[in-house]
Structure 1
Amino acid sequence: MSLAAVALRAPEPATKLLLVDDDAVDRMTCRRALTRHMSGEFELIEADTGEEGLRLVRTEKPHCILLDYKLPDLNGLEFLEQLSKAENGRLPPIVMLTGTDDATVAVEAMKRGARDYLVKQADQPGVELIPAVVRRVLREQDMMEEKLQLEDELRRAGERYRNIVEQIPVITYVMALDEFGTLLYISPQIRVLGYSADEWLVSPQRRLDQIHHADRIGFLQKLAASRADGADFSCEYRLLARSGFARWFRDNASIVRDESGKPLYLEGVMMDISENKRVEEELLAHSSRLEKLVAARTTELEQANERLRQELAERMQAQAHLDYIAYHDHLTGLPNRLLFCDRLEHAMSQANRREQFVALFLLDLDHFKQVNDSLGHSMGDVLLKDVAQRLKSCVRESDTVARLGGDEFAIVLEGLSHIDEAAGIAQKIVDTFAQPIGVDGHELLVSMSIGITIYPFDDDNIEDLMRDADTALYRAKDTGRNGYQFYQADMTTATMEHLSLRTELHHALAREEFVLHYQPVVNLRSGDICGVEALLRWRHPTRGLVSPGEFIPVLEQTGLIVPATEWTLRQGCREFAAVQALGVPSLHLAANIGVNVFNRRMRKPEFTRTLARILEETGVKPGNLTLEITESTLMEDTENARLTLGELKALGVHIAIDDFGVGYSSLSYLRRFPIDVLKIDREFIREIGVKPDATSLVRSIVEMGHTLAMTVVAEGVETAEQLRILRECGCDQMQGFLFSKPLPLDALRQLLKEGRRLSS
């Protein structure tokens, strides 16, 4: 039996109460008690079974639950257990109602999440107490949620403060007001001396021990004076680094007092002034020598003046060097966070005057930690330098590229007249990092995630713009990395279209909207068609053919690539078998059908069994099927790839490396896998006859493939000149618009019937 919701007040009350009790009289008694004491404050929803109650919790989201212990289908404790599992332990306030005063049940109910326990016997005041108990547990729930919110805000504020302190280029500390200046806290910047903060805090006198012996007495005297008169502390002294060398520091500290004015401790900042001291000492020495020369040899005054001018120039150069260090990253030479913020502020000011836009990019290297862990930090540094140069090559001279720390970079694009300009630069960066980076003999494929915010559209100050860009950056990482995202306060039209596309793709397979087009593969020696490649297309009911570049990434993101790949294999084999059954003479050789096998499908353990079943169902011989696999598929999980390819080879199908040259492109890794066909990426083919070294590169790939007994296929052949060069290089097969674009099945049949060949 199911009870409908019973509303006891006007529409949309502030509080929803769920009463779960199989006894109609008890429900009526409880309802009356609530109405007497809480009229107008709530909406009461009733259920007479545990299952109905659980359903109403999911659909109505009540603020409080009144739960009878004895229900016809499950007891109150079982109800609590199932609800806790369904809600991941996040329960609304629950008051357990029972007809018996059983302390054991009450304790167990409280353990499982109930907030209170009332006895509803006629001689007990339990029912009349329900309104007061409901008010109390709701107040407690409000206070609990407010407490959790305050604790979260306090934690985040503490983290922000700590991050700010630990990123400023000085050493901060907290020091006790004792005679030794015992440190209570010191920031991680103490690493400039070769020590960790923990090493300095392990001994009360550690800093005193590290002060140069010639400066120690002066330090203690000034500390004692500060303790005596309560004045701020200021001192310059040398500290010994782990290496044994001394560095000069300027130490300024202020006394922190309690509400009564009693001194508690010192908060201080130590700034490294070693370079300033060195310059000052050199200038003093040079000035002294100049004075002696002027006094002793007036005849050499002009020469002495010239030397003085030279020394002054050195001082300016040294100061310029200090300024450069203060505002630039030491590893990459890019502007650091300080200079970056200054440039951003200037760009915002210029944009206001000129009525233009400013784009702020925050960029993060994807999986940079893996490079450091596997190849070492020195290799990671080399990679970061290369990344800095690549980023600079993607922007204009007037733009700013900065390194904020670690693998985090930032870009300011100023003087923009349209937001599309920012999208173009972002895509250029993504495309640039699609090319491998050579680091000490290693070919590394790295990608970049980018978050973008626009001034003045998104926010009008640096702090909020940085937050917006950071939000967009995390969204870019969450949506698969290797891309960019603009900051959006709300769901935009583009996002709605993307969600609509995902929904439509869910129905495309069931509605038979996917079709296959076939591009012929031609033997370069005989000119005959020796195979075809099956390419997935989506015939949208209103938009017509949708570009694969638009819908295939969505298939991969949603996991629909798995059923779509299986459909491609089954439909491709079925249609290929039908073409073979025509007995077309041009297919007298073993014709192959290349099917793009996407990464997610290859990693499924049942893939080989599914493929064997498809071949058996369609009657296609395994030797007539070629599976095309990208280089990245092999390298993401080499052990699993080797096992899977071994199973496929045992089945009898051929294996092709698709788009060869855009990934690892290594002879050593190719030898580790049972590869039959090497397909040269169309980007290399496009460049032959245009770039001088392109032909040599293609010839090397062909020779490498032949060395490993592989058939080499050129993709994207569009001109007769490309065809001529490929024949000279000894390439085996080709496909491309020069011979035929991808064709529907009927057009492919007609092409084969005509016996079309590639001219010599």
Structure 2
Amino acid sequence: METEPFRILLVEDNDADRSYFRECLEEINDRPYAFLESPSGRDTLSLCRHFRPHCLILDYNLPQSNGLKVLEELQDEFQRPLYPVVMLTGRGSEKIAVNAMRLGAQDYIVKTEINPESLHRAVHHACDRFQLEKDLRIRTEELEGANAQLRDLQSITSALSAGAHLADVARILINQVRLSLKADTALVLRQTEAGNLEVLARSGYREQDFIDSGPGGPDAMAPVARALNEGKALVFTNHENLREAIPLVVEVEVLRKSVAFVAAPLRLNDKSLAALGLGFSEPRALSAGELVYLDLMLRQCSEAVARANLYEEEILRKEQLAHAVQTRDEFLSVASHELKTPLTALKLQLQLGRRNIDPVSGHQPDAQRTANHFDSALKQVNRLAGFVDDILDVTKITAGKLILQLEAIDVNFLLNEAVGILRPSLEKAGVTVATDFAPNVFARGDRFRMEQVFNNLFANAMKYAPGSELVVSTRAVGSFISISFKDSGPGIAPERLPYIFERFERATDSSRISGLGLGLYITREIMEAQGGSITAKSKPREGVTFEISLPRDESAGMPAAG
């Protein structure tokens, strides 16, 4: 294999000296040499860039200049030498030697002392020293970089100790890493319990980069989401790598601008807690030191994320406990009032009935009046029994002991039956029922529990929409039966609508409307236990529409095979 020539640029105004120096080096014959000669110091830098010498032999005395001025031109922006230089002079001068070495020359030799051995030794000493200085400079820069990264890690440790919330940890991470690794964009995301992607913090992005464009979330998050799901770091050193791995980047402006991209998960105990994404506008390959730094940073942040998760879970538990205590207290207050009212009425009716038949009172017994008193008392007993049944149902639901007997149900028949039974109460409340039933509507469910559901919804209309029209309709929708209750009452306030199916929640704060706030909660739980559902839609002053669905029973209501 042919050895590459050792390139030397000779800058010397004396032709005889240049020839002698060339002969001295060639006489040693340790390697092939290639020479480029210049009689002056002009254009030395451009000659070096073109010839790319391994060493520069530079005379101090040059026409209209000197070697020191040439040395100044051969320094980079940090005043470091660009090439190994051996300075030559016709006389020994300590001052010249010191200045030459200060300006970047690696060796100094007096012309009268030059011979093949001394010149060969000076040239190769200059090259070795230049390389050592360069290596030392690189190692120093690496050490300074490592120290800076260590300071960053210490700084982020201090910052993370004060960041209790998840968003704080994510913000600290992207600000620190983006600055340290000189990234143009940065984001941290996690996957919620519902399976959605949530951006915890971002920097360098525009708002429109995060417009949801698909079921997986904003496309700008695609590389980071992949790292999160796969649980491993992904490094794309150029745009071609990124486009090959994730084809959709050509359709996403922010990713088209990312020439290089790094995505890495924050993992703890083999679980991905979140993921970091860094975008670069130029081709970028992280050095070994940067990869170690990034790994240490991610480990620190993983532990901080885990602590933040525990902190937020604890806050949530405290909030839930406080809410549970508040709900309990509100329930006890409402329940005591709701139980006291019928008990007071029951006591009064029993006292009046007893007085009517007590011979000591001196009143002539009136059978009709006595019957009326006992009817009123029975009504209050039934009301109390209803409260107790609701509380028992909630207990069964909470304990998972709600027992169902699934069978084919003629939905239209069951609804007509409920209307018939409740007609007196509906008329008293001024609720007019209109029906729109599809034929042969059979569902699979628990007959007793569906009667309870229908009664709850009729009672809800009488309670919250008295004097309105209630339209009840049924229809088959695919493999489900849909049943709709639409009233023309005052509706439900938007801020209350999301909570009406929760325990002890009511559609209004009005104290004039009785109830424990359990009916719709029980209704929802019954429907879901049967594989169905219930939803509510409402606008203020436009009424409420409750829509329930049950699995369709295909076997019922079908004509027998001939």
TM-score when normalising by structure 2: 0.35
TM-score when normalising by structure 1: 0.27
Larger Rg: 2
Higher RCO (Cα < 8 Å, 6 or more apart)? 2
